[in-house]
Amino acid sequence: MFDKEIEFSAHEDYFALKEEYPIPTKLNIPEWYKKLEHKVLDRTVKGCMPFLDSLTSGYLLKMPQDFYVRHNVDNKNEKGEIFKDSFQTFGLHGGSQILDAKSINLNSGLDTHSIKQLEGSPFIEKNKNLPFYKIHNPWKIKTPKGYSCLFLPPLNNSDDRFSIIPAIVDTDTFPIEINFPIIINGDKYPTLETTIKKGTPYVQVIPFKRDSWKMIFNARKQKEIQNYRLFYGLKLLNTYKEKYWNKKSWK
């Protein structure tokens, strides 16, 4: 039974491209994880339910089109950047006019942010002191009243070339598409020339209910700690899964 709905809507032309629809995150579990086993004498992260929850919670947005990136590569003795989407690179021709994603109203193109927008942050050095590319997301996201969404790179399953800058948006009130600045992983790729393929998962969307919280502090008794540790240690495997874990449903 599903108590809440999250709505993804797009321009009718893009909406027709069903292979580009967002998907439940659970449909993108990495192959390396699937191959793991979890045994008494060979424990792995396969037995860690919190890790599994990170791989299955929420929904994934996929790259709306191919993006060509040439980042921090020598170009006539200057370190520069080129960022093109497939509309710009190959062109969609309407008579004598070349159309881009913006002109046909799909909101699936790209943009840039100057480094001044993140001045002083560690993102600038990681991005090799170049402008931040921004992916135009064609999907408007709507949640029930009182619910927001956490947007972040796919947890424990992100692309090693780039990642979005995480953010929270009140998607019950925000009326338009949310676009995503990305950071090139300059720590691993000091220079990068690549094509980020259409359909590459790049944003994990986790809806949550907005509540007001405050911190409280308590001292724990030694006996309480010992009792919990004793109980937890009575089984070799799956104590958390069988005693404490709650199954989550995403469709």
- At 10-64, the pLDDT tens digits run 988 888 888 889 999 999 999 999 999 988 888 899 999 999 999 999 999 999 8
> Residue 175 burial by CB count (10 A; 0-12/13-18/19+): exposed, middle or buried?
exposed
Residue 210 has pLDDT above 50, yes or no: yes
Residue 158 has pLDDT above 90, yes or no: yes
Q: What are 9's strand-pairing partners?
A: 140
What mean pLDDT value characterizes the chain?
A: 87
What domains can be seen in the chain, in order of their start residue? Answer: 7-219 (2.70.40.10)
Of the pLDDT bands very low, low, confident and very high (cuts 50, 70, 90), residue 222 is: very high
- Report pLDDT digits (tens) over 77-122: 555 566 665 555 443 333 333 445 455 556 777 788 899 999 999 9
Average pLDDT over residues 2-7: 91
- Report pLDDT digits (tens) over 185-203: 999 999 999 999 999 999 9
Q: How many helices (H) and strands (E) does the chain have?
A: 7, 16
Q: Which distant-in-sequence residues (6+ apart) come within 8 Å of 65 by Cβ?
A: 85, 86, 87, 101, 108, 109, 198
* More confident of the two residues 229 and 150: 150
Instruction: Output the six-digit token pair for 188.
Output: 């691993």
Average pLDDT over residues 134-141: 93
